[in-house]
């Protein structure tokens, strides 16, 4: 079954927020001490993405099959960050494809489209973070030209 990638619009955001909730739960399930899981995570994302649609430096892409949203990718231009020792760059923050739609090239197409959009916005590079044990995502990102540069480590204080 064919899919298409396009910029998200307001009517897509409810479906995108549901997928974002799944992404949050995936991370929280892997490490609940590190990743938050608010009771209203989908509503929080709906609020956030509604705001980001108006942000000229943000990009929300959707993948659709038969007019249904089956995946999304969210990124934005981030300015120089002295804490991260990173100059202005595009940041790919979220990517998620519904399990039933995986293994069709959708994630690859979303990442490629995001890199293109961020480059058009002036990003000289695109950075992303991935869960340390998400080998399939890391393999995809490496295949698309990303390289490891940092490892986040967490220590609880309580």
Q: Output the domain CATH number for residue 86.
A: 3.40.630.30
Within-domain flag for 145: no
Within-domain flag for 25: yes
Within-domain flag for 95: yes
pLDDT tens digit sequence for 105-122: 999 999 999 999 999 999
Task: Report the chain (158 residues): mean pLDDT per 10 consecutive residues.
Answer: 95 98 96 94 98 98 97 98 95 97 97 98 97 93 96 90
What is the reported pLDDT for 17? 98
Q: Are the CB atoms for 140 and 146 separated by under 8 Å?
A: no
Q: Are the CB atoms for 24 and 41 separated by under 8 Å?
A: yes
| Strand, helix or coil for residue 102 | coil
Within-domain flag for 87: yes
What is the reported pLDDT for 158? 85
Alpha-carbon distance of 136 to 145, in angstroms, equals: 15
User: Where does residue 10 fall: left (phi above 0), alpha (psi -120 to 50 degrees), or beta otherwise?
Assistant: alpha
What is the reported pLDDT for 66? 94
pTM (2 d.p.): 0.95
Burial pattern 34-67, b for ≥16 Cβ within 10 A else e, equals ebeeeeebbebbbeebeebbeeeebbbbbbbbee
Q: For residue 103, what are the domain limits?
A: 4-128
Domains held by the chain: number: 1
User: Where does residue 66 fall: left (phi above 0), alpha (psi -120 to 50 degrees), or beta otherwise?
Assistant: left
What is the reported pLDDT for 1? 77
Q: Are the CB atoms for 90 and 76 separated by under 8 Å?
A: yes
Within-domain flag for 149: no
């Amino acid at each position: 079954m064919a899919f298409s990638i396009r910029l998200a619009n307001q009517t897509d955001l409810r479906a995108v927020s549901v997928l974002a909730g799944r992404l949050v739960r995936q991370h929280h399930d892997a490490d609940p001490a590190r990743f938050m899981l608010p009771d209203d995570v989908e509503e929080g994302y709906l609020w956030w993405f509604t705001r980001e649609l108006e942000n000229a430096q943000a990009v929300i892409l959707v993948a659709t099959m038969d007019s249904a949203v089956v995946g999304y990718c969210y990124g934005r231009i981030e300015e120089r960050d002295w804490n991260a020792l990173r100059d202005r760059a595009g940041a790919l923050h979220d990517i998620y494809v519904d399990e039933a739609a995986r293994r069709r090239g959708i994630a690859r197409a979303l990442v490629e489209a995001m890199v293109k959009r961020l480059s058009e916005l002036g990003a000289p590079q695109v950075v992303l973070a991935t869960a340390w044990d998400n080998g399939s995502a890391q393999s995809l990102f490496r295949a698309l030209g990303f390289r490891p540069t940092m490892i986040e480590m967490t220590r609880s204080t309580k």
